[in-house]
Amino acid sequence: MATSRKVTLLSSDGESFEVEQSVAVESITIKDSIEEGSAGNPIPVPKVNSKILAKVIEYCKKHVESAKAEDRVDDEDLVAWDADFVKVDQATLFDLIRAANFLNIKSLLDLTCQTVADMIKGKTPEEKRKTFTIRNDFTPEEEEEVRRENQWAFE
Amino acid sequence: MAESMPEDIVVDILLRLPAKSLVRFKCVCKRWRSLISDRAFAKSHLQRLKAGDLIPSQRFIISGCNGSLKTVDYEALDDGGGEGRMVVPHGIKPLWEPRIVGSCDGLVCLLGPSNFVIYNPTTRECIELPGPNFVDRVRLSGVSGFGYDSQSDDYKLVADASSSSDENWKLAIFSLKSGSWRSIELPFQEEFNELTGQGVYWKGALHWHVYVLCMYDKREGVIMSFDLLEEKFHEVLPVPVPEVDEDICLLGLGIHGANLFINNCTHDRRIEGWITDEYGRGASWTKLFSVDCSAIINLDRDFEQTPLAYTSSGKIVIWMDTKRMIMFNPKDNTCKDYLLGTDLVREYAIYLETLVSPYLDGGAVE
């Protein structure tokens, strides 16, 4: 497979990114459309704006490079790099999750979902509602009942 | 913003959380409450747990003589998290001096004065089982155990139902799925004399450490199992150290993460722990730790100090006597004492924090 082949990705807000094919096919979605021959050139990536697409490409590049390296030590470095990569604001993190899901990049989805899980692990339900901007649809009585049933879990 | 997050992503994130957190998060909104209470979700959560490192989700439950049950979170104690975070579970008040029968997948089986109870200490769901109607009562001193049969996707409780008049050995088996008891008879084997107490559930079977007679009237320690699928006994594993000249005394079986755990003490007051992941004559044991107990003061010589767990930082949790346990650090030979409360602690079991519901027959789950 000619790894020096390049493809162009077009973000939802019209920006073009030229990347190596080996990097682009980290996304199963893109890989499939290239193999089916249905990908145009540039390949449009709807739903993912340029800011997020740039981050996703950065992630894929790093992981493709690491896979080539032979040093096992790189594993730890990669883990540290990943940890830094997800130190972003919440909105960006959620956008990354959506992008990883749409583009079908399993390792990125894993990383971002795990980050959110670790973030919310210790929070109270109220904090979690804020994090996910979830509307509390319990009536005050219902909420009281649910809390009471699970009161011991908060101790 | 987040409301447009696809459901399967929300589920993916929730499945990564520890069971304890998830119980709390039932309060967030109705969607999450129904998600987290869903049977299939609990099953997926358990599978994910088993695919990873089990140790952070392991706790042990202790039962005291006044009917109290407590959970000991020894990893939390290990982190130096202040005073021991020991939680007293509620909701099972009818039990008086509960005997712990066994634990599997986060469900703990207890024996109360009249009935067996299946309890999940993490979700606090509890059901009382009907008694077997073909025996007056099961022999409390006999074998018992609780575990999972993957083929029938059923949790089974095994209890000794034989009486002295029986020629064969009778076991009573309760299936959680069908909600009923049945009995099986096994032709008597020499080894059955040695089988006693709760079996440790591991890899689809219950395990006990027994002595069997082998050649030249010598006795050898082996590990026997009761396979929950076949409902038969087998000799499945050798023990890690031969008991030679009473210098080495094998104490008990337990669980460490995904491994079977056995401990022994030696003549020179060492306590050793071993784990294995294999079955069969050729199975090998790995020594987890070997500690010199002479460093520990206030040893109650009438009580068999039992190592219960090995924490992620390499400390050993030892049950010292009916009132306390210690966390022993082999790196600097120091110990930290933890009082277990005013109840005299009689029994314990290691369990996993899961969302598995004991109501497997479709009973009420909120």
Partner residue facing A134 (CB), from B12, B29, B366: B29
- Residue B33 in contact with partner chain A when CB distance is under 8 A: yes
Give the tens place of pLDDT for each residue, A105-117.
Answer: 999 999 999 999 9
Contact A143 B20 (CB under 8 A): no
* Chain A residues lying within 8 Å of B12, measured CB to CB: 109, 113
Element of type H or E holding A59 = helix A50-68
B211: three-class secondary structure by DSSP: strand
B15, B32 in Cβ contact below 8 A?
Answer: no
**For residue B71, how far is the Cα from the chain centroid?**
12
Q: Beta strand B180-186 with B143-149: parallel, antiparallel or unpaired?
A: unpaired
Percent helix, strand and coil across chain B, each to the nearest 5: 15, 40, 40
How many angstroms separate the CA atoms of B73 and B308, rounded?
12
Per-residue model confidence as pLDDT tens digits over B89-135: 655 655 566 788 899 999 999 887 778 889 998 888 888 888 776 55
Residues 6+ apart with CB under 8 A from A58: A85
- Helix H or strand E segment including B159: strand B154-160
Cα–Cα dist A130/A132, whole Å: 5
- CB spacing of B124 vs A97 below 8 angstroms: no
pLDDT for the residue numbered B81 = 53
Is A143 an 8 Å CB contact of chain B? yes
Which residue stretches of chain B are H helix?
7-15, 19-24, 30-37, 39-51, 74-78
Is the CB of residue A44 less than 8 Å away from at least one CB of chain B? no
When the pLDDT of each residue in chain B is averaged and rounded to a whole number, the result is: 81
Note whether B6 and B339 are within 8 A (CB): no
- Structure tokens, B109: 């089986």
Question: Are B345 and B62 a contacting pair, CB within 8 Å?
Answer: yes
Q: Give the other-Cβ count within 10 Å of B240's Cβ.
A: 21
Helices and strands (H and E) in chain B: how many = 5, 25
Q: To which H or E segment does residue A31 belong?
A: helix A28-35
Identify any residues that bridge with B174 across adjacent strands, giving them in sequence order.
B157, B181
Does residue B55 come out as left (phi exceeding 0), alpha (psi in the -120 to 50 range) or beta? Answer: alpha
B25 contacts A122? CB cut-off 8 A: no
* Tokens 């739903």, residue located: A47
Spacing of C-alpha B136 from chain mean position: 27
Give B43's pLDDT tier (boundaries 50, 70, 90).
very high
Contact (CB, 8 A) for A69 and A35? no
Q: Please check whether residue B61 is in contact with residue B103, taking contact to mean a CB–CB distance below 8 angstroms.
A: yes
Which of A23, A10, A103 is closest to A62 using CA atoms?
A: A23
A–B: how many Cβ contacts below 8 A?
82
For residue B2, count other CB atoms closer than 10 A to its CB. 17
- Shortest CB distance from A133 goes to which of B3, B25, B31? B3
Name the residue with tokens 């008991």.
Answer: B243
Q: How many CA atoms lie within 13 A of B349 on its CB side?
A: 29
Residue A131, class by beta-carbon neighbours within 10 Å (0-12 exposed, 13-18 middle, 19+ buried)?
middle
Q: Residues B38-57: what's their mean pLDDT?
A: 91
Q: What percent of chain B has pLDDT over 90?
A: 21
Residue B160 burial by CB count (10 A; 0-12/13-18/19+): exposed, middle or buried? buried
Contact B27/A121, CB-based, under 8 Å? no
The reply to whether residue A150 touches residue B23, judged by beta carbons under 8 angstroms, is yes
A72 interface with B at CB cutoff 8 Å: no
Residue A135, pLDDT > 60, answer yes
Cβ pair B29:A138 closer than 8 A: yes
Q: At what angle do helices A50-68 and A106-120 cross, to 10 degrees?
A: 110
Contact A121 B17 (CB under 8 A): yes
B-chain CB neighbours of A133 within 8 Å are: 1-3
Q: Is A94 in Cβ contact with B1 (below 8 Å)? A: yes
Largest CA distance in chain A: 64
Closest residue on chain B to A145 (Cα): B27
pLDDT tens readout for residues B257-316: 889 998 887 777 788 888 998 887 778 889 888 887 776 666 666 566 788 888 888 888
What's the pLDDT tens digit per position in B72-93? 888 777 765 544 456 666 556 5
Task: Residue B194: name the closest of B134, B158, B142 by CA.
Answer: B142
Chain A interface includes B17 (CB < 8 A): yes
Does the pLDDT of residue B319 top 60, yes or no?
yes
Confidence (pLDDT) at B331 = 84
- Expressed in angstroms, the distance from the first to the final Cα of chain B is 29
Q: What is the CA radius of gyration of chain B?
A: 21
